[in-house]
Chains A and B, each alone.
Chain A
Amino acid sequence: MGRRIPLMICFVAGILMVIQFFTPPLRSVYEMVLDWYIVILVFALAVGLQTTIYLHVNKVRRRVKGYLYSLVTLVSLVSMATIGLAGGIRQGSWFMWLFEHIQVPLGATMFALLAFFMASAAYRAFRARTLEATLLLVAAVIVMLGRVPIGYFLTKGLPESIQIPAATEWILMYPNMAAKRGIMFGVALGMISTALKVIVGIERGYLGGRR
């Protein structure tokens, strides 16, 4: 029973949503399901929050190495949530001030670190060992040059059709696009088959362990 009801819910919801695409009279059911979907997802945050809070509270309780950092996470979580709930989220609020001067700079800088690691990795590991690796390297270099102003500057004396930016655009629009389209077909067919398996109950990973 613990698994049968969710499997039935999944099946009915899935089949309805497939059929409604071809059946205009089911429009009101479709709109209702879309509404319910959004309302239910509002509570899904609780799942992610619970895992994170549980992890950090446990670290603090057991005083493991680095537990003070977990305390930082918990204090900042509670503070930000309280400030947002109590003070509102409009421009000019403390909530937006913290978002603009702490959350945005931290997030942006974390990803900016990747530029350094990428350069270091390219220097140490990007080797033209095989024909395939050489092709990858050549394509990468052409795109890197063609997508910045220096690419045009270096070849501006040449006819437009063989300048680096034109070569870059051709590579992106034809061989790259062809490869990406081929991959897209495979991924799309995989997504459809997984969706069908979820609807008919073959794929049951979301049900978790036995009960």
Chain B
Amino acid sequence: MLQGTSGRARTGDAWSSGRLPQRNGSYMSNGKRAHWGSRLGFILAASGSAIGLGNIVFFSASAYRGGGGAFYVPYLIALFVVGLPVLAAEFGLGRAAGGAFPKALGKYAGKTGEFFGWWGIANALTITMYYISLLAWVTGMGVLSLTGTLWEPTAAVPAFDVPGQTLDNPVGSFFAMISGDHVLYAVLFVWALNVLLTLRGTQSIERAVTWMMPTLWLVMALLAVGGLMLPGGTDGLWMLVTPDFSALSNFDVWKGAFSQIFFTLSLGFGVMSAYSSYLPPDSDDVANSSAVAGLNCLFELIAGIAVFAILASFALTPKASTLAMMFFIVPKGIALLPFGVAALGTLFFALLLLAGITSSISLIEAAVSAIIDKFGYRRERVVGALALAGFLGSCLFALPTVIDPGLDAAGTVGLSLLDYVDHYANGYGLMLVGLVECIIIGWFLPVESLMELMNRTSKLRLGTTFAILIRYVVPLVLATLLIAGAISEVRSGVLYGTNPSLASGLAALLPMLALAGWLLFTCGLAALLTFARGSRSKDEVV
């Protein structure tokens, strides 16, 4: 049976009026679980988690690749069929279990459920490590915006000190930056920011998102309006939204839209369960999931307009890669602006950093919250230990060692590892966790019990459609995406990242090392944490 909502009126009233005991970390001084200061704070934090680098650049690339406006048809269907139900279920799950992901899944499916919960957290930690490396590069590009030759498109930058080899900007500046030792200081800087923002749990996160999220929205809205005012900017808008319906007969468009929705809403990370576990018992999960999903996708639409307007104005072709879009294509467009290039360029990278930080703190919080739930350690110790391990991992993904000076592949060890590990952690890990999560909620919990709990506090009552979606439709969709990905992997005949022109040395070994490292780290850590003896009993914290 699920936890009841006893004490609902007391906690809910206090929460609404802001008259709650002082919070500090995951738990309060009285041993009860910490809470968000306000509903708006929770929505800003959860939407901040969902809105990340991919919203700003990857969505635009996916929409362009999928036939412009025609992409919105499967995208909106995916939002209502997969995104909203799974998000609402994750909110409900966190609240029902009164704890983070492993605890929540473990409560209803024993050690197997807990293992997948920890595996999701291990994946989230892996992603945090390389995500912070990416943010370190964003920081580096921001610094170059102000101090370097980044905005001089014709400046030939020496690439990797190879005699006679130069690269045009912004590609040249990017590779010069990621192959320099200074990038590790940027990694340290971004980790320090994350520690600062997660040290006090919901308190510090809420305080940060209260100004970060409105700033993010404001800057993005300004960029969109500015982009539309450029000559030819509105052509970009129409390129983004005008449908080519022939795309709808292509399976890849549907696959792209469903994957996009799953990733964009931070599903399968354990973040949303962790965040909702800090909600009071009378929260409306349906309304909360609507607000978070709506805000995330609306931001994506506005970002798409901004990016497309700039690209169309300068006749640049979008690329289906987050990295290429944010470091090469959009900066190339900014460099062609008639005025304020350095200022707007710096603003663009600051925007990326802001969007990235609101996501990375949520990934860290998911892990911190889960560890405190099980072991009862002090938050400061958990954040410190995670930051140290995470910093070392991020350094690995930012390693400036050049292994491919001809740039047949990704250039440095760090970027190559990031590319390969992202392929597995993001492409398979999250969906597999999502699939298991839906099976546990749909069949073990079961979903009717969760609906009963959610319906007690939701104005819009969930019916059998929700149960059918969670129990049958979402698992079927996720299984199809996973199987389709695996089939295309097998058909390619080689391990992802294998490059014939890099047939020897470390570069040739990296794809295999990345796969083995990812599997060992995530499975090993999940097993270790699942079978380790915890200090808190399952029901202690509700």
* A, B in one complex: no
Q: Which residues in A have some Cβ–Cβ distance to B below 8 Å?
A: none
